[in-house]
Each structure stands twice: as C-alpha cells, then as structure tokens.
Chains A and B, each alone.
Chain A
Amino acid sequence: QSALTQPPSVSGSPGQSVTISCTGTTSDVGGYNRVSWYQQPPGTAPKLIISDVNNRPSGVPDRFSGSKSGNTASLTISGLQAEDEADYYCSLYTSTTVVFGGGTKLTVL
C-alpha cells in the first residue's frame, strides 16, 4: 500500500488557522474511517492528536480538529500557537496494515 500524500510544509502566523490535507484513494482513505493524526515535535516521539477522522483524545486542545471528504482527510489547527510547530503525520489503520502519510512540517511564523 502506498504512503498517503501530504503537503511537505505549511505555515501560519500565531492566531491563524492552517489545514493539512492527507490524500489517498477509494481503497484506503475513501473506504475507511480509521484515519488518525500524529504530532511530532523535533526529537520526540509522535503523539496521537486525532483518531477515527475527528475524535480528540483526552488532553488534546479543541483547537485541533479533523474531517474527511471523499479520499482526503484533513487536520485543521485553529488559533495557532508557537508550540504547535512540529511535524504532522496522518495514518490509516486497517485490520491488516497501517499506512502513514509523508508528513507535513508546520512552521509558526
């Protein structure tokens, strides 16, 4: 299964909103709702921030939200803060495999 497609980088100023896309096909993103998002600040392990397309685990700020339309899932971060600067990865989980996106580097200007 091919990696999911994400933009290499996005940027925004504090207080703004940014959206990161994660594009697959009808065989993966379009056919499953087990899309998750992970945040990875430099030098640290990934952290789960969105599960099942749009569910936030306990402790994750409501500035983070997820959605899906067709073959594309999206992560939106509103009210950008300096601490949001990190790499973000989408992933798709099925009963037989886990596929990750190529990752997106978020820069807070």
Chain B
Amino acid sequence: QVQVVQSGAEVKKPGASVKVSCKASGYTFTIYAIQWVRQAPGQSLEWMGWINPDNGDTKYSQKFQGRVTITRDTSASTVYMELSSLRSEDTAVYYCARDRYGDLDYWGQGTLVTVSS
C-alpha cells in the first residue's frame, strides 16, 4: 500500500535552516511528482513547490523562491525540503504529498516546524 512518511517535529531559531524528509513507499517512486504544502496555525494550505523525482526538475512558488530547495534521493525513495533564513512566520505544519497527475492523493502526516528564539 502507498505510504508517505515524514520526519519528526523541529524547533529552530530565527535565521536557521530546516530540512524535512518525505519517504514514499508502495509504488514506483520516480513515476509521480511530490508536492510540498504548508499550513500555518489556523490558516489555509499554502503551496511551496514540487519535484519530479525522475529527473530532479523542480518548480517553486514565487513566495519561497530563493529560500526553499527541494531535492530527492532516488535510492532511498525520499524527497527533502529545505527552507532557509527561517523567521517566526514560518512556524507551520509542512506536508508532502504524492502528485498523481494533479491529484494530491497521498499525504504525509505533516511535520511541525516551530521557529522561536
């Protein structure tokens, strides 16, 4: 069965970086893109970017351009999202999701990133 499992919660200081992992299993990893979406407390979902695990091509939201980097390790069926220059407004739950031709059909459990001095 398809599973998407993310790394655990993180606490970071302002200005630091965070790297969240997303391990997929139960299907051929390189067939479907992986999307990253975040949700600040009490707020809506916000798209951050995606990666094509087959060739590593990425596309980022303009809002995060320059601060976010999405990479993959095909040998480990894992995608990584790194966000730099963290500020308090980046406190949120970060989700990865399998993108099956436009349908985000399997989501990770979410990773809470807290930015606090």
Residues of chain A whose beta carbon lies under 8 Å from any beta carbon of chain B = 3, 34, 36, 38, 45-48, 51-52, 57, 89, 91, 93, 96-103
B49 to chain A, nearest CB (A): 9
Please list 15 pairs of residues, one from A and one from B, whose beta carbons are closer than 8 Å in the complex, sorted by A's number.
A34-B102, A36-B102, A45-B109, A45-B110, A46-B95, A52-B103, A57-B103, A57-B105, A91-B45, A98-B35, A98-B37, A98-B47, A99-B47, A100-B45, A103-B45
Partner among B47, B108, B109 whose Cβ is within 8 Å of the Cβ of A100: B47
User: Is the Cβ of B105 less than 8 Å from the Cβ of A93?
Assistant: no
The answer for the CA separation of A48 and B4 in the assembled complex, in Å, is 15
User: Is the Cβ of B47 less than 8 Å from the Cβ of A97?
Assistant: yes
Residues of chain B whose beta carbon lies under 8 Å from any beta carbon of chain A = 35, 37, 44-47, 50, 59, 61, 95, 97, 102-105, 107-110
The answer for the CA separation of A75 and B6 in the assembled complex, in Å, is 30
* Residues A46 and B45 in contact in the complex (CB < 8 Å), given A36-B103, A51-B102, A93-B102: yes
3 closest A-B pairs by beta carbon, nearest first, are: A45-B107, A98-B47, A93-B102
User: Is the Cβ of A48 less than 8 Å from the Cβ of B47?
Assistant: no
Partner among B35, B59, B104 whose Cβ is within 8 Å of the Cβ of A96: B59
User: Is the Cβ of A38 less than 8 Å from the Cβ of B104?
Assistant: yes
User: Is the Cβ of A100 less than 8 Å from the Cβ of B46?
Assistant: yes
**For chain A, what secondary structure do more than half of its interface residues adopt (helix, strand, loop), or is it mixed?**
strand
Residues in A neighbouring B47, C-beta threshold 8 A: 97-100
Residues in B neighbouring A96, C-beta threshold 8 A: 59
User: Is the Cβ of B46 less than 8 Å from the Cβ of A46?
Assistant: no
Residues in A neighbouring B95, C-beta threshold 8 A: 45-46
A31 to chain B, nearest CB (A): 15
The answer for the CA separation of A51 and B100 in the assembled complex, in Å, is 11
List 11 additional A-B contacts (Cβ < 8 Å) besides A48-B105, A91-B45.
A38-B104, A46-B104, A46-B107, A51-B102, A51-B103, A52-B102, A98-B35, A98-B37, A99-B47, A101-B44, A102-B44
